[in-house]
């Protein structure tokens, strides 16, 4: 899993003997003419976490999952659960890779422990 790496490029004063040449004052001291430090950041990719419908997982269990792992109110959770029930698939939330991965694992683990066939997947949010 390769996540974006942020670089901070410092404007280093080069020494008197340094290749490329620094700026050297009359008294031999180095000084730095730069006024800005360039900071380059990259926005992380985002991933959709989706719940899939099945015929056996109780509706109340799905609502509980959405409240517990996706910080949904009971009303939001019920709406999302009914959407999944009717359409076959529905969006729980959008997260960075490792957060999405963790939520999928938490859902699958709890479902398995309760012997429900509930499926949860993640996909890149382009």
Q: What is the DSSP letter of 81?
A: H
Cα-to-chain-centroid distance, residue 72: 18
Rule CB under 6 A: say whether 30 interacts with ligand TYC: no
Rule CB under 6 A: say whether 44 interacts with ligand TYC: no
Q: Quick check: 92 and 67 in contact, CB under 8 A?
A: no
- In what order do the strands lie in the sheet containing 89-96? 89-96, 46-52, 119-125
Q: How far is CA 71 from CA 51, 77, 93, in A?
A: 15, 9, 9
- Choices 24-32, 37-45, 80-88, 97-105 (CB under 6 A): range interacting with ligand TYC: 80-88
Binding test (CB under 6 A) with ligand TYC, winner from 14, 22, 45, 54? 54
- Per-residue binder mask for ligand TYC (CB under 6 A), 104-123, x = binder: --------------x-----
Instruction: Please report, as ranges, the residues that interact with ligand TYC according to CB under 6 A.
Output: 51-55, 57-59, 62, 81, 84-85, 118
């Amino acid at each position: 899993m390769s996540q974006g790496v942020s670089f901070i490029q410092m404007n280093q004063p080069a020494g008197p003997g340094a290749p490329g040449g620094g700026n050297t004052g009359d008294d031999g001291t180095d000084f730095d003419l730069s006024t800005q430090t360039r900071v380059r950041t990259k926005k992380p990719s985002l991933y959709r976490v989706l719940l899939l419908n099945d015929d056996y997982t109780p509706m109340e269990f799905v609502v509980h999952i959405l409240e517990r792992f996706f910080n949904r109110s009971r009303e939001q959770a019920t709406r999302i659960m009914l959407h999944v029930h009717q359409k076959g698939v529905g969006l729980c939330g959008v997260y960075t890779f490792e957060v999405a991965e963790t939520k999928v694992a938490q859902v699958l683990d709890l479902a398995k422990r309760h012997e429900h066939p509930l499926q949860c997947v993640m996909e890149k949010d382009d």
